[in-house]
């Protein structure tokens, strides 16, 4: 049975979530999140504005932004993040 591209991505994201939840608890207590935005300039600026607004309203829950790294496929990028 051939799985669609979307199903593969969903499975990889769920696997990443499970692996992250099994990680070191001291690491999770840092409350640092990285939001990956698209890598075009307009969306990078929009993401920065949104993240800066969030960080001002929630000083104890910091988020940083990073453009999605370039890769040959979405699976390659997701696996590199895990």
Per residue in 51-61, pLDDT (tens digit) is: 999 999 988 88
Q: For the chain, what is the domain count?
A: 1
| 79 phi, psi to nearest 5 deg | -65, -35
What is the separation, in whole angstroms, between the first and last Cα of the chain? 26
Per residue in 3-35, pLDDT (tens digit) is: 678 888 888 888 888 888 777 655 544 557 888
Query: Is the Cβ–Cβ distance between 9 and 78 less than 8 Å?
Result: yes
**pLDDT for residue 34:** 87
Query: Is the Cβ–Cβ distance between 48 and 57 less than 8 Å?
Result: no
Per residue in 64-81, pLDDT (tens digit) is: 998 887 766 767 777 776
Range of 55's domain?
5-81
* Count of residues making up the chain: 82
């Amino acid at each position: 049975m051939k799985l669609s591209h979307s199903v593969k991505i969903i499975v990889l994201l769920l696997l990443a979530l499970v692996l992250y939840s099994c990680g070191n608890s001291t690491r999770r207590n840092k409350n640092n999140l990285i939001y990956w935005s698209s890598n075009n300039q307009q969306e990078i600026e929009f993401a920065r504005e949104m993240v800066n607004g969030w960080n001002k309203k929630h000083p104890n829950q910091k988020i940083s932004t990073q453009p999605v790294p370039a890769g040959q496929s979405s699976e390659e990028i997701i696996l590199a993040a895990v």
